[in-house]
Amino acid sequence: MPVIAAAETAAARRRASSNGTEFWFTGYIGHNRYSPADLPRPAPGTPMPVAFLVEQDPGTTVAAHFHQADQFQLIVGGGGTLGRHDVAPGTVHFVAAHSAYGPIRAGAEGLAYFTLRNGWDPGARYMPGARGELPRARHHREASGGAIDAAPDGLVATPVALPPGAAMTGPAPENGESFWVVLDGSLILDGQRLGPRSCVFLAAGEPLPDARAGEAGARVMAMRFPARPG
């Protein structure tokens, strides 16, 4: 079954936060830093959906760092730079576990982006101080743009434009977990109208649900993680 997070419901969880940089944090799906302390913290990379929205204030910078789970980031507001890349609404960025990236710099209008993972991560490890924590046997993997071309292991990110009433067609989850984020218009799924900044998680191998664009159509970013090894 899809995991659905409507923007209107998530908005009640918006709160100020800081990791050395002040920002706004909105939890959508899964455990995050604001989850109750008595919840179990699984091993890094343990399969689970995680989705949250970060809003950086104008001119702020998040230092270069890495995570211990694969991750998509999707820009949904403002602008700035991510590493050497200029980013704007609709830019999608993928980085594999243990691949350092950044810094993330917000421009004059601030910067808003979703962070989407298919596994548990205990928190950012900032460079260069955490360099010694990187596994010796690792493969840096990073991709960024308005779309990410399909790779042999299933990694792909593609914007999908739907006319009113049209069915959402994928990409199918197949062997990799997927997220959909509504950029414009609305999707109708399980009787819910999902407007901009709503998201949906689909487990690997799950059939595509019956999701259709609302009366004004929809524009959705569909992202699929690489298949898990083995």
Domain ranges of the chain: 9-39+46-145, 156-224
Instruction: Compute the distance between CA of residue 18 and CA of residue 24 in angstroms, rounded to an integer.
Output: 8
pLDDT of residue 158: 97
Reported as a pLDDT band with limits 50, 70 and 90, residue 130 is: low
Instruction: Compute the distance between CA of residue 110 and CA of residue 103 in angstroms, rounded to an integer.
Output: 15
Q: Is the pLDDT of residue 126 over 90?
A: no
Reported as a pLDDT band with limits 50, 70 and 90, residue 2 is: very high
CATH fold match for the domains 9-39+46-145 and 156-224: yes
Counting residues of the chain whose pLDDT is more than 70, the rounded percentage is 95
For domain 156-224, give its CATH number from 2.60.120.10, 2.60.40.10, 3.65.10.10, 3.30.1330.60. Answer: 2.60.120.10
Query: What single-letter amino acid sits at 26?
Result: T
pLDDT of residue 29: 95
Average pLDDT over residues 189-215: 95
Annotation: CATH topology of 9-39+46-145? Jelly Rolls (2.60.120)
What does pTM read for this prediction?
0.94
Average pLDDT over residues 170-193: 93
Polymer length of the chain: 230
β-partners of residue 57 are: none
Instruction: List the structure tokens of 215.
Output: 């009366």
Reported as a pLDDT band with limits 50, 70 and 90, residue 128 is: confident
Exposed, middle or buried: residue 128 (CB in 10 Å: 0-12, 13-18, 19+)? exposed
Average pLDDT over residues 211-219: 97
Q: Is the pLDDT of residue 165 over 80?
A: yes
Mean pLDDT over the full length of the chain: 91
DSSP secondary structure letter of residue 7: H
Instruction: Compute the distance between CA of residue 25 and CA of residue 100 in angstroms, rounded to an integer.
Output: 22
